[in-house]
Amino acid sequence: MTNQLVRVLQGEVIAPPPVWFMRQAGRFLPEYRAIRAKATFEQLLNDSDLAAEVSLQPIRRFPKIDGAIIFSDILVILDALGCGVTIPEGGPVLARTLDQIPLDQPLDEAVFKPVCDALRKVRKELPPEKALLGFAGAPWTLLAYGLEGKGSKTWSRAKTFLHKEPVKAQKWLEKLADAAARLLNLHIEAGAQAVQLFDTWAGELDADDYATLALPAARRTLEQVTSVPTLFFARTGYLPDALNDLPCAGLAVPWQVPISEARRRFSGKVLQGNLDPVALLAGPEVAVRKTRAILDAMKGHAHVFNLGHGLVPETNPDVLAAVIEEVKKSL
């Protein structure tokens, strides 16, 4: 059975639209927090049973959601390249940055086994009308983390590296692009019916650097992933026109960009989004009103309802339920 989310990503207009949420598998759900009280984040990543359970939790709580995204982390690629990633409560930390690792470092695909096993388990349990989504980090975002060694407010080390070491930066972006494509294709082999490439730190580059340095690497990844529909998410308020030419079915629109503007500029793409996650914290009335505005703006266009970035931990599940009901009621 072809589910609605996949059908929309193939270009079909469906009303009401399918819905899922970035970061729906995780920290805002009480049932997730109950598991986390007994297991670390890294244990969840490396235990396929736990990862599968966390991926299925939002489907059980919100039966009208149309897709389950696998519980994982974009930094598994850096771990597979030997960076020694740990993810304590304060955020990710790398034992070795990419400039301490040779460019010919082989990708240790054994690191990907837990998430692929989890995908198979979720696909087995997931109702056929629900889509299973895989994901990976985009090359620039991986390079940013890989050079900083942790999160950053400025990403100054990574941004400087792009200009001071342009040849090495280009080679690393290409290597990370190929690694991301490999991971996405492994997700597909394990049961993913659509995949999303996350360029979380796209907005940390100016428009010229993003277009000339980062976007070609994202294209390189997407060109290698062809067997299922692909989504690309660049978290930036200046969505470049070049996104029109990316070989992906859909664009996930960040909340900073009005979706009516995105519809006008990217008419050839399926659009996903783009409610501000923080609007959910203002309560159901505000969240539902803003949801309705997005739905009205996307009438007649292939659309997947989602947020403009991931759910925040403070989100009340009851408010999210109200948003889902608004999406799914008759238009």
36 belongs to the catalytic site: yes
Q: DSSP for 40-92?
A: -HHHHHH-HHHHHHHHHHHHHH-TT--EEEPP--TTHHHHHTT--EE--TT--
Does the bond joining 274 to the residue before it have cis omega, within 30 degrees of 0?
A: yes
Nearest to 171 by CA among 220, 227, 235, 108: 220
Q: How far apart are CA 325 and CA 331, in angstroms?
A: 12
Report the predicted TM-score, pTM, of the whole model to 2 decimal places.
0.97
Mind listing the pLDDT tens digit of every residue in the chain (331 residues)? 569 999 999 999 999 999 999 999 989 999 999 999 999 999 999 999 999 999 999 999 999 999 999 999 999 999 999 999 998 877 899 999 999 999 999 999 999 999 999 999 999 999 999 999 999 999 999 999 999 999 999 999 999 999 999 999 999 999 999 999 999 999 999 999 999 999 999 999 999 999 999 999 999 999 999 999 999 999 999 999 999 999 999 999 999 999 999 999 999 999 999 999 999 999 999 999 999 999 999 999 999 999 999 999 999 999 999 999 999 995 5
Given the residues 32, 66, 123, 145, select the one marked as catalytic: 145
Write out the two tokens for 119: 């995908």
Nearest Cα residue to 280 out of 312, 327, 302: 312
Distance CA 62, CA 3 (A): 16
What's the CATH code, domain 20-252? 3.20.20.210
Amino acid, single-letter form, for residue 228: V
Q: Which of 7, 27, 265, 292 does the annotation list as catalytic? A: 27
- 27 included as an active-site residue: yes
DSSP per position, 267-286: TTSEEEEEE-GGGGGG-HHH
Q: Which of 32, 66, 73, 210 is catalytic?
A: 73
One of 7, 36, 96, 120 is an active-site residue; which one? 36
Q: What is the chain's alpha carbon radius of gyration, rounded to the nearest angstrom?
A: 19
